[in-house]
Structure formats: C-alpha cells, structure tokens
Structure 1
Amino acid sequence: MSGLGRVISGLFPGEVGHAAVAIGTAPAPLPAEAPAVARAIPRRVAEFAAGRAAARAALAAAGLPRAAIPMGQDRAPIWPEGATGSITHSRDYALAVAAPAARFRGLGLDVEPDQPLPHDVLDEICDSDECAWIAGQVQPLRWARLIFVAKEAAYKCQYPASRTLFGFEAMTVRVDPGSGTLTARFRRAVPPFENGAELPGRFAFAEGQMIAGFMLPAAPTG
C-alpha cells in the first residue's frame, strides 16, 4: 500500500474500504466503463483506469463484490447497488474509498498538492468567515487550499443524497488543526439537507499532498 493509502485509512472508520493504485499500472477499464473515456487522451484513460481499479479494490476491502463502475450522465461514478464511495486522483495515484450503503449515504475524498492556493482565486473559494480564519494562520494560503480540498470532498459526500450541483458558496468549512477534523456546514438548504446541516470530516498532510475525507452516515432505521 502506498503511504497515501495508509493516510486514507486514518480518515475513515474501519468499515470503510480504501485503496490506492499507481496511475499507469491498472488494467483497461471494464466494458461498461470504457465509453466514459472512449475519446480521451492516454493520460486521462490511465487516470480513469487507475481510479476504477482503486474503487474495485476499495469495494473488496469493505467486504463488497467487485463490480463495474460506469460514469453517469452527470459524470459521477455509478456505484453498484448496495455500495457508495468516492474516487480522487493525485499526480501519481488514484485513491478510492467505498462502504456499504446501509452504513453510509455518501463518502467524499479529495486530494491536492500541498501548496498554497493562488491568491487570485481566494475570493472564489472562501467566504468571509473562512478568510478571517485563514488570515490568522501561518501560511494562510496553504490553509486556504485545504478549505478548497475540504469543500470538494464534502460536495462529493453529499451528492448521492442531493443530486444537486452548487458552488463553493453553498458550504462553509471549519478546520481544527489540532485534531485534524473538518466540519462542512450548508449555508442554504439543499434538499434533503437543511440550512445549517453539517457533515463531519478529517484531513491529513502526507507525501506532499493534502487529503480530506467526509462521510454521511445512513439514517437510523427502526
């Protein structure tokens, strides 16, 4: 397992399977998946193949059957019935997490280089509360990029429940550097999420990358 794979294991509970696959080492996409990259350049095909291979390995690690994971019309992965998960890519690796849908309605994973966020996009990513917080941090633009990563991961996490596209302004993120925890809070209602609803997450820095993971537990039954 790559170092990134070990880091991901610390972001989620034990029942969440995880995997990392080096880009360029995965077999070709399965027939049900291939249309998604039929006209893609070789690099994109390699990334896609590694992502799907990592997703199948994550399914197996969660005790679920390996299966094809096609791309939907909204470009989101179509996970097999009874499963949910998330896929992301660094420059060298595809990373994935998966879990039973009976335990989680959604998972979100995102990775970015551990580098400062360009200052000219700061206002597009961060709201006034987030900007005020990062202004008080050492290396504020590094923490701004973490907020970007967190919002991407939180968006992926909530999407299976809402199926709604929205921008960075719809969520605000709180970061606790001491505990490595994140909280993403909706700033407006995005059904089924109410204004103020929160998603719990975690983050880590490793191997020149910053990684964020979020989870949406399944609603209690009975």
Structure 2
Amino acid sequence: MLPDSAAYCYMFTDPSSNDLTRFEQLHPLEKTLVSQAVDRRKAEFGDARWCAHQALEQLGAQKEVARQPILRGERGAPIWPEGYTGSMTHTDGYRAAVVAPLSTVRSVGVDAEPAERLPDGVLNSIALRSEIGQLTKLVDAGLDHADRLLFCAKEATYKAWFPLTRRFLDFHEAEIDLRADGTFFSYLLVRPTPVPFITGTWMQRSGFLITTAVVQ
C-alpha cells in the first residue's frame, strides 16, 4: 500500500473499552491537547499517536526524535519531527499511523472507516456525478460499501493535500477514480495546485476500509 521508505503501524481495539494505557504513555504536551476530553476521545487520540511514535521508531529515528511530542498545527494537522511527514487515523476498533522521511515522500494521508454503507443522504453531499456512476459499477462487482470507500479515499486525499498547500479541500474539489484492483487516483479540481493528481491504494481488512494517499 505504501512506498518502501514508509512505516505503517496499526492496532485493533475493543470499541466498548476506553483503554487509556497508551494515552498515559504520551508526552505531557500531547496529553494536554485533549486534557478536557472524555475517555473515549483520549483513548483514540493516545492510540493513534502511540502508533505514530512506533512508526518513527520503525524508520530508525533516534529515540529523542521518535518520542518527540506530536502537537497540532493549522486545522489540527499533526506537526511531525523535522525531516518526516505522516498521517494518523482512528475509528471505533481501529487506529493507525503512517510515517515517511521527507527525502522520499512529500506527503501522505491515511484513513480508516468501517466497511459498511454510508448513512442515508451522505453520498450526495460528498460525491460528484461522475463518481456516483463509478460506484454503481463497483457495487455490481461485489463491493456493497463502495460509497464508504469513496468517502475514505477523499479523507486520505485531503490529509495528503493539506500539508502541501495549507488550504482546505472540499469533497467536490477532488474527483476520485476508484479501481477494483485496490488503487485510486484523486484528480485535483482546484487551481493553483502543487500536483495535478494524488495516487492512492485501498484495501478491506477485518471489517474496515483503509485508504492511503501518497505524493512522492
């Protein structure tokens, strides 16, 4: 799913449990970001950042770098240690982070969603007409939750887009070409743009849809 230079760390969790073990292991500055949140939010926050620190270690980052607090920047985007880029995601039952050196990857986005249909009315608010027609073909091919996959791909696209531009990207400002082989292309419809499109991959695993978008 990712370039060889990237590291991916993930974990499955019990959706009914608010396990704060990994949250308590975070740097104090990280914990202050959600100090007023409920335990459920602290748990997902802690798990995702724990994954991010593990991914940094997998890449061979020095201990002081791998454990450096990952704080928030503009629009809540994570501030990665110098020389690295990455992305985090969390949903009920699954957390993940991907990290890569900036020397090989300009930006990356990851998103995970439950492998189930979107709630009624959501698809029309996020999809272009061309995308809806494409989803019909994927459903006919056996992917019943293609609408959720589209949402997931758009989320990963935005996460890869924002670090390059520091600009918001609306759902209708990227046209996603989902392919049955586990890949997708995100064509940027806004100008100016640093790249005309972003490449991505997707997979279904243990009841979750997982997408990654990469700019190299």
Q: So what's the TM-score if we normalise by structure 2?
A: 0.88
Q: Does the aligned pair in 2 maintain the 1:134–1:141 contact within 8 Å?
A: no
Provide the secondary structure at the position in 2 that maps to 1:210. strand
Deviation of 1:190 (Å) = 4.4
Matches within 5 A, 1:57-136: 57-65=54-62, 66=66, 67-136=68-137
Q: Which runs of 5+ in 2 are unaligned?
A: 14-18
Tell me whether 46-55 or 136-145 shows the greater mean CA deviation: 136-145
Aligned to 1:150: 153
Q: Does the aligned pair in 2 maintain the 1:84–1:101 contact within 8 Å?
A: yes
Q: So what's the TM-score if we normalise by structure 1?
A: 0.86
How many residues matched? Answer: 203
Aligned to 1:26: 22
Deviation of 1:49 (Å) = 0.9
Aligned to 2:212: 213
1:61-120 C-alpha deviation (Å, 9 max, x unpaired): 122230210122421111111000010013123200001011111111000000012231
Separation in 2 of the partners of 1:62 and 1:161? 22
Separation in 1 of the partners of 2:33 and 2:133? 41
What letter matches 1:209 in structure 2?
F
Separation in 1 of the partners of 2:177 and 2:83? 31
Aligned to 2:6: 16
What letter matches 2:9 in structure 1?
A
Provide the secondary structure at the position in 1 that maps to 2:37. coil
Aligned to 1:185: 187
What letter matches 2:69 in structure 1?
A
Aligned to 1:7: none
Q: Does the aligned pair in 2 maintain the 1:33–1:69 contact within 8 Å?
A: yes
Between the two proteins, what is the percent identity of the paired residues?
32
Separation in 1 of the partners of 2:51 and 2:187? 29
Does the C-alpha gap of structure 1 residues 160 and 73 become closer, same or farther in structure 2, counting only changes over 3 Å? closer
Matches within 5 A, 1:163-182: 163-177=166-180, 179-182=181-184
Provide the secondary structure at the position in 2 that maps to 1:33. helix
Provide the secondary structure at the position in 1 that maps to 2:78. coil
Provide the secondary structure at the position in 2 that maps to 1:99. strand
Provide the secondary structure at the position in 2 that maps to 1:104. coil
Aligned to 2:16: none
What letter matches 2:210 in structure 1?
I
Q: Does the aligned pair in 2 maintain the 1:108–1:215 contact within 8 Å?
A: yes
Provide the secondary structure at the position in 1 that maps to 2:194. coil
What letter matches 1:75 in structure 2?
G
Q: Does the aligned pair in 2 maintain the 1:118–1:141 contact within 8 Å?
A: no
Q: Does the aligned pair in 2 maintain the 1:107–1:214 contact within 8 Å?
A: yes
Separation in 1 of the partners of 2:43 and 2:114? 19
What letter matches 1:212 in structure 2?
T
Tell me whether 179-188 or 61-70 shows the greater mean CA deviation: 61-70
Provide the secondary structure at the position in 1 that maps to 2:117. coil
Q: Does the aligned pair in 1 maintain the 2:94–2:112 contact within 8 Å?
A: no
